[in-house]
Amino acid sequence: MAPLLQMVASALAFSLMGLCVKQVGGRIPAAEVVLARAIVSVALSWWLLQRAGVDPWGQRRGLLIVRGAIGTAALLCVYAALAQLPMASATVLQYLYPTITALLAWLMLGERIGKRVLLAIALGWTGVLLVAQPAGLLQGAAALPPLAVLIALAGALFTSLAYVSVRSLGNSEHPLVIVFYFPLVALPLSLPLVALDPVLPTPSELLWLVGVGVFTQVGQVYLTRGLTALPAAQATAISYVQVAFAGLWGWLVFGESIDGWTVAGAVLVLAAMLVSLRRSPPSAAADR
C-alpha cells in the first residue's frame, strides 16, 4: 500500500478505535481500556513479527521502552478525553500535536522557530480555544469540562513526544518492532492502575475492548509505516482526516451535534497544519 494510503488507513482505524472507546468510556476506566488494548496488540504484534521473520527485540531497546512509556501516557489521556468529550472535540484537541512538536523541537533540539511556525502555533491554539469554549470566553457557548480539555491537551503533548521517538527509531528499527514495544511496555504500566479500580466488563463491553485493541493495532502499523516512509509534515497533513472521521462517527452513532465553534476551531487547527506543512523539508523532518 502506498504511504499516503497507509496514513489514511491509519486515520480511519484510529477513528474507529475512538468509536469503540466511546462505547465503554462511561463505565470502564481508561487504564483498563489501555490494558485490554495492550493484551490484544501484544498478541497481534508477536504474530506479525513471527510471520515476517523479524527479531522482536530490536537494537535501541532503551529508546523503544521510552517510546512505549510515552505512548502509554498518551493513550491514557486520549482514552480519558474521549470518554468525557464529544468525539469531534476530543479529536481536534488531540490534533494540536504538530504545533506542540514544533515547540518541543525548539526547546529540546535547539531548532529555530521561524515566523511561519509561530503563525501556525497561534492559529492552532486559537482553534483549541474555540473548540474548548472556556466559560466566559464565548457568551452563550456551552463550555467543555476544563479537566477533560486539559487531559486531551496532555494527550497531544505525549503524542508529539512519541512521534519524535518514532521518527528517530525509524532509522534503525523495523516498524513492527516499534509497534510491538508499545503494548509490551503498556502492559506492566497499566496493570497497577487497573488493580486500583477494576471493573468487570460485560460481554458486549468485552467485544468493544477487543475492537479497541484491533483498530489501534491496525492504526499503529499503518501510522508507523507512514511515518517512516514520508516526511513528518506530509504524514501529519494526511492524518488530519481523522478529525472528519471522528465527527462523522460522533454524529451517526452518538447523535453528537457539531456546532459552529467546533467547525471554526477545526478549520483553524487545520490551517495551522497547512502553514507548518509549507516549511522547508529539513526543518519539517526534524519536527518529529
d(CA 256, CA 173): 41
Alpha carbon 35 to its chain centroid, in Å, reads 17
Q: What is the DSSP string of 33-84?
A: HHHHHHHHHHHHHHHHHHHHT--TT-S-HHHHHHHHHHHHHHHHHHHHHHHH
Using left for φ > 0, alpha for ψ between -120 and 50, and beta otherwise, residue 80 falls in alpha
Tens-digit pLDDT profile for the chain (288 aa)?
777 788 889 989 999 998 999 899 778 999 999 999 999 999 999 999 999 999 999 999 999 999 999 999 999 998 899 888 888 788 878 877 767 766 776 776 566 667 776 787 778 778 777 776 654 444 444 567 889 989 999 999 998 888 778 877 878 899 899 989 999 999 999 999 999 989 999 999 999 999 999 998 898 888 878 777 765 555 655 666 777 788 788 888 888 877 787 788 778 877 776 776 554 443 333 333
Q: Break the chain into its structural domains and give their ranges.
A: 3-286
Alpha carbon 116 to its chain's center: 24
